Structure 1
Amino acid sequence: MTVSPRSAMVLAAGLATRMRPLTNTTAKPLLLLGGRTLLDHALDHLVDAGVQTVAVNAHWQADAVAAHLVQRPAPPRTVLLREEHLLETGGGVKAALAVLGADPFFVVNGDAFWLNGPISALTRLAAAFDETVDGVLLVHRTSHVHADVGYGDFALDKWGVPRRRKEREVVPYIYAGVQLIHPRLLAGMPEGAFSMNKAWDNALAAGRLRAVVHDGMWFHLSTPPDLAEAEQILEARITGDARWPWR
């Protein structure tokens, strides 16, 4: 059963300390890549997927994030949620449930940047979602990432069921910062700050988490050199410069 999410959340409240000095006075989702902010790229993807309402949390430079959303033409309808104290990924999403509703919704990291393959990544997540799962994660092959991503995050079986990396193990997939979840994923989670990893672990233990491998381009944007290299790769993709391979 394919779902058709009409709501989503963009996580834009992080401090982005590794992206300094670029984020000394700017929220990371407002950094430019390819002539548009990372936040706008995320919102564009969500609009293309049919999303109508997007909750955006903010903490660092929240006024700037708010101003940017105000000047952006609709769709989607955006609702800014200011976090006086950081709630982390899971707590931020749980605090937005009143906006997101009772049906499955997308969650996109504010620094997630990807180009679709033959079929939209969000469409593929929706196609993989059914009543047997509480969440579907978009993952990317670590061998296809132009940045240091450590030892990876997950291994997958042939049915797309993920498992965590074991100690001292290298696994082939990294979480790509995009997921489709049902509100029940957060049932029983505490109020206040907590990581989405805790909810994922509960779903993994219950056999209710799946993953889809991204088949387009994806960029790990953690540091200023990551952002600069992504800009060069995008330009090379347009100009056909063979010195910059992409996957």
Structure 2
Amino acid sequence: MSDFPTTAMVLAAGLGKRMRPLTALRPKPLVEVGGRTMLDRTLDHLRAAGVQKAVVNVHYLADQVEAHLAGREQGLEIAISDERAELLETGGGVTKALPLIDGDHFFVVNSDNLWVDGAVPSLQLLAQQWNPEIMDALLLLVPLARASSHSGRGDFHMDPAGRLRWRRDGRMAPFVYTGVMIVARHLFDGAPSGPFGFRLLWDKAMAADRLFGVTHAGLWADVGTPPAVAATETLLATV
């Protein structure tokens, strides 16, 4: 655990269109699930794992997110990556924030998914499995059958060594990306300066056989729509 990442990038800049009307007057990361915002739940995981700094990007209703973060209890350094001028998507948002991010590798966490740890906390599991000699990115995956409120067909196939390949068009795949990963800083070398999604970087890592996954053993929910909020609250009541 000596290489445990000290910094996490928290993606909180999305428009939350699928979550309307809940996001008409508030950003999606501040939607509450079980009496706590999704952003706070994410930051709680980071702090509990020992992460020292969270870089949070903001765009839609950015002032609300900044005010909320300013009111949080201490214990985790917060830095803001401002995307008010242009929404940069997942890959572009992290690229812009790199000057604020410490370390050769770091966590990237979506603020709009919710997870409950299994026997080993998932951030620790990622850190334990991280091997910079063979990996550019290590993704936390959940089996499609256990992806609560998720309506997709899965994202990845994973071989016995943990290497990932995309689901083929029109087919199913057994694993869903949870929105949590460790990524190497050098994977961003040569990345575009404008908006782009993480798939561009994952394709780059996959082409070099350096995109890996590990299976999340706890609960996970895709909290993307208002009905998913109620379903996730029901799921949390079973924990």
TM score, norm. by length of structure 1: 0.93
Cα distance in 2 for partners of 1:49, 1:194 equals: 29
Alignment of 1:26-41 (within 5 A): 26-41=26-41
Cα distance in 1 for partners of 2:105, 2:121 equals: 17
- Are 2:29 and 2:39, in contact at CA under 8 Å, matched by a contact in 1? yes
Cα distance in 2 for partners of 1:193, 1:176 equals: 22
- Are 2:14 and 2:60, in contact at CA under 8 Å, matched by a contact in 1? yes
For 2:57, give the aligned amino acid. N
Of 144, 147, 151 in structure 1, the residue corresponding to residue 146 of structure 2 is 144
Instruction: Report % sequence identity.
Output: 43
Shift of 1:198: 0.3
Cα distance in 1 for partners of 2:148, 2:140 equals: 18
Shift of 1:201: 0.4
Shift of 1:127: 1.0
**Which digits, 9 at most, give the CA deviation of each residue in 1:110-143, with x for residues without a partner?**
1021000000100111111112111100111111
**Which digits, 9 at most, give the CA deviation of each residue in 1:63-93, with x for residues without a partner?**
0000000000122110112212100000100
Shift of 1:2: 6.2
CA 121–191 in structure 1, closer or farther in 2 if over 3 Å, else same: same
Cα distance in 1 for partners of 2:34, 2:152 equals: 26
| Residue 60, structure 1, aligned to residue 69, structure 2 | no
- In structure 2, the partner of 1:116 is 117
- Are 1:2 and 1:127, in contact at CA under 8 Å, matched by a contact in 2? no
Cα distance in 2 for partners of 1:45, 1:149 equals: 25
Cα distance in 2 for partners of 1:58, 1:49 equals: 23
State how many pairs are aligned: 237
- In structure 2, the partner of 1:92 is 93
- In structure 2, the partner of 1:242 is none
Structure 2: unaligned runs, 5 residues or longer: none
Q: CA RMSD in A?
A: 1.2
TM score, norm. by length of structure 2: 0.96
Cα distance in 2 for partners of 1:8, 1:146 equals: 25
- Are 1:160 and 1:211, in contact at CA under 8 Å, matched by a contact in 2? yes
**Which digits, 9 at most, give the CA deviation of each residue in 1:179-234, with x for residues without a partner?**
11111111111111111110010000001111011100000111100111111221
- Are 2:6 and 2:102, in contact at CA under 8 Å, matched by a contact in 1? no
Cα distance in 1 for partners of 2:39, 2:79 equals: 14
Cα distance in 1 for partners of 2:231, 2:62 equals: 27
- Are 1:138 and 1:177, in contact at CA under 8 Å, matched by a contact in 2? yes
